[in-house]
Structure formats: structure tokens, C-alpha cells
Amino acid sequence: MYDAKVRGKNRYSICTSDMREDMQRRMVLTNSLLRALERDELRVFYQPQIDTATRGIVGYEALLRWENPDLGLLPPGMFIPLAEQTGLIRPIGEWVLRTACRQNRLWIDRGLPPRRMSVNLSVEQLRDRHLSDQIRSVLSETGMDARLLQLEITETAAIQADEPVVQMLSEIKKLGISISLDDFGVDYSSLSRLRELPIDHIKIDMRFVRGIEAGSKDEAIARTIIQLARNLGLQVLAEGVEHMHQYRFFARERCDEIQGFLFYKPMPPAQLEALL
Ligand code: C2E
Ligand code: MG
Ligand code: MG
């Protein structure tokens, strides 16, 4: 039924053995994801974000990984959609937030310079009425400075955000937390939403970054997003910078920040700490 719906509804689909296997795989994964939290199999990796002008680290993005005993280290793309469908994203999201805040506080306590910590929020978390209370208690529990916390919401989530969600975001912002619009430019980017949403920061999606070369359309789009952010008084970051010519482009266009494999990959906290 879902297969028929995904293919445009009002049609039928024949269940194949491939589909059955896929379903079984998802069921097994859902069951073990349920226990991953309890068994302490989730990990947070951190990827530095760079000031384009100075090349100094301005912050880190917390990125979830699952150390699955059978399948190895799994990237979030393989299990976050499942977690969202099953409601598991709420406890998992809270765990990521607490872990990242605790880590940030720990680094500061060890004498490292205070830097921003960005945590991804799923649209399911935004729909949770208790989210701002949850964030408040994580902040007080971990001793994290709210001004160092940034929450990333995807453009898709932002477009879906109804009035209660916008209000919740404003409430969160009042705590001193900044809000970033992730994967900007991918979906249909609603300019009126940009005006209404309480955001501080935009992340240009890596799809545009990949196509950066002289005279390309992606270059024109990236340039336009940077200009748009500047005119709205927002900070702007380019995501997925892998090559020097891409970095040079964003430096020339005075994009505030960049993040990408050219400088750093996401890494476990101990590795980042050694590097810092
Ligand atoms: P995102 O928030 O847009 O995160 C950036 C993704 O781009 C990360 O993938 C990162 O490893 C990857 N990346 C960074 N620089 C480069 C580069 O130069 N080249 C390439 N090819 N990739 C680069 P990752 O860690 O696999 O995460 C994928 C997505 O999963 C994230 O996209 C985010 O939407 C979601 N995600 C990750 N952690 C969490 C979490 O704790 N909660 C929620 N709700 N979603 C999360
Ligand atoms: Mg992100
Ligand atoms: Mg992104």
C-alpha cells in the first residue's frame, strides 16, 4: 500500500520479495534502534565550522552515529528516517542535545576557548510541545551557556512550521539560543517564511557547493543566497566544501563561514580534543 501511495496513489503495487526483505530489514533495525539508546550504542561526532576569513574554528556541528554491533558505524541517513517514523527521534534527539551540551561544557572546563555548538533538530522534535522545557532543563543540567548553542532546522521543516512551532522557536530564541536554517535552497525556498521565522543563520546546501565553477548556475545561486542573507542581516555558512576552488569562491564572496572535508571531517570527541 505504501509503495503504491509513494508512486502517486490511485494505483496498485505487487509485493515483491525485494520489498519483503526491505521490510524485514527495517523491522529488525527498528527493534535494535529501540535498544541502541539503552545499550549505549549511539555516538556523537563533531565537525568543526570555520571562519572563512581567518580559517579559525568558530563552532562544531554535532552529528549522530550508531555503533551497531552487527553492521558497524552507521550514518544518520540510515536510521534517522526510521527514528522519525517510530517516534524514537524524541528520546534520541534529547540524548544528542544533552551529549553535545555536556561535551561543549567539558571542553570549556578543560580550558579550550568557548565555541558554538550546533545540534540538528528533527521536525518531529519541533512538534513536541515540551521541547523548550526540555532544552531549558538540558541547559541547566549541563551548565551550557545558551548563547553558545545553535539549533539547526531544515528548510523543509521550516516550511512546514505552523504558528505553534514558530512561537516555540521564538521562545527558544529568547533563551539566547541561535537558530540556523539547514540545507537552504533545496526545497522550494519560501522567502516569506524567511521573514517570519526567528532565524539567525543560513546554511547553503552542499548541492550548490558541488557545482561551484566559473560561470555556472550553482555559482550564481550561491552568490544570490549569500547576498540574500547579508541583506536580511543573517550569518551564512557554506556546507560540504571539499575543494580549494570552492573555498576561494566563498572567501571572495565573503560568505561568513564554511564547513567541509577540505578542512575537517566529522570526528569522535577525543580526536577533536587532541586536535584542538
Ligand atoms: P546536515 O545537518 O546537513 O549535516 C551535514 C552532513 O554533511 C553530515 O552528514 C556531514 O558529515 C556531511 N558533510 C560535511 N562536510 C562534507 C563534505 O565536505 N563533503 C560531503 N560529501 N559531506 C560532508 P551526516 O553526518 O551523514 O548527516 C546527514 C544528516 O543527518 C544531517 O545533515 C542531518 O540532517 C541528519 N542528522 C545528523 N545528526 C542528527 C541528529 O542528531 N538529529 C537529527 N534530527 N538529524 C541529524
Ligand atoms: Mg545540520
Ligand atoms: Mg545541511
pLDDT digits (tens, 9 = 90+) for 19-73: 999 888 888 888 899 899 999 999 999 999 999 999 999 999 999 999 999 889 9
Q: Is the pLDDT of residue 214 over 80?
A: no
The grid coordinates listed for 269 are 570527541
| Atom 11, ligand 1: residue with shortest CA distance | 266
The burial class, CB within 10 Å (0-12 / 13-18 / 19+), for 32 is middle
Residue 254 confidence (pLDDT): 97
Check pLDDT > 90 for residue 201. Answer: yes
User: Which pLDDT belongs to residue 25?
Assistant: 84
- Position with higher pLDDT, 205 vs 2: 205
pLDDT score recorded for residue 162: 85
Q: What's the mean pLDDT when you consider all of the chain?
A: 93
Residues 6+ apart with CB under 8 A from 44: 62, 63, 64, 65, 96, 99, 100, 103, 269
Helix intervals (H) in the chain: 2-6, 17-36, 80-86, 89-109, 123-126, 131-142, 155-160, 163-174, 191-196, 206-210, 217-232, 244-252, 269-275
CA distance 190 to 247: 27
Query: pLDDT tens digits for 134-188?
Result: 999 999 999 999 999 999 999 888 888 888 889 999 999 999 999 999 999 887 7
Share of the chain above pLDDT 70, in %: 100
Determine the Cα–Cα distance for residues 168 and 170; give it in Å rounded to an integer: 5
Say how far apart CA 11 and CA 5 lie, in whole Å: 8
Q: What ligand has the least distance to the C-alpha of 155?
A: 3
Q: Which atom of ligand 1 is nearest to the CA of 63?
A: 38
Atom 22 of ligand 1, residue of closest alpha carbon: 240
Which amino acid is present at 1?
M
**Residue 76: predicted pLDDT:** 96
Angstrom distance (rounded) from CA 246 to CA 204: 13
Distance 151 CA to ligand 2 centre (A): 9
Report residue 1's pLDDT band, with 50, 70 and 90 as the boundaries: confident
Closest atom of ligand 1 to CA, residue 205: 3
Predicted local distance difference test score (pLDDT) of residue 117: 98
pLDDT for res 31? 87
Pocket test for ligand 1, best of 43, 80, 179 (most atoms within 8 A of CB): 80
**pLDDT of the residue at 172:** 95
For ligand 1, atom 45: residue with the closest CA: 120
Q: What is the pLDDT of residue 239?
A: 97
Q: Whose CA is nearest to atom 17 of ligand 1?
A: 240
**Nearest residue by C-alpha to atom 25 in ligand 1:** 63
206 CA → ligand 3 middle, Å = 7
For 73, other C-beta atoms within 10 Å of its C-beta total 10
pLDDT value of residue 261 = 98
DSSP assignments along 127-171, one per residue: T-TTHHHHHHHHHHHHT--GGGEEEEEEHHHHHH--HHHHHHHHH
Which residues does 32 contact at the CB level (< 8 Å), separation at least 6?
68, 70
pLDDT at 232: 93
Q: Closest ligand 1 atom, CA of 45?
A: 25
Read off the pLDDT band of 14 (50, 70, 90).
very high
pTM: 0.93
Atom nearest to 89 CA in ligand 1: 44
Sign of CA dihedral 165, 157, 210, 47: positive
Please report where in the chains the cell 576557548 appears, as a residue.
113
- Residues facing 120 on adjacent strands: 152
Look up residue 22 and give its three cell numbers: 526491505
Q: Which ligand is nearest to the CA of 95?
A: 1
> Looking at the predicted structure, is the pLDDT value of residue 215 above 90?
no
Confidence (pLDDT) at 9: 84
C-alpha cell at 225: 543566497
Q: Which residues line ligand 1 (CB under 6 A)?
A: 47, 63-64, 75-77, 80, 93, 96, 120-122, 152, 182-183, 239-242, 259-261, 266
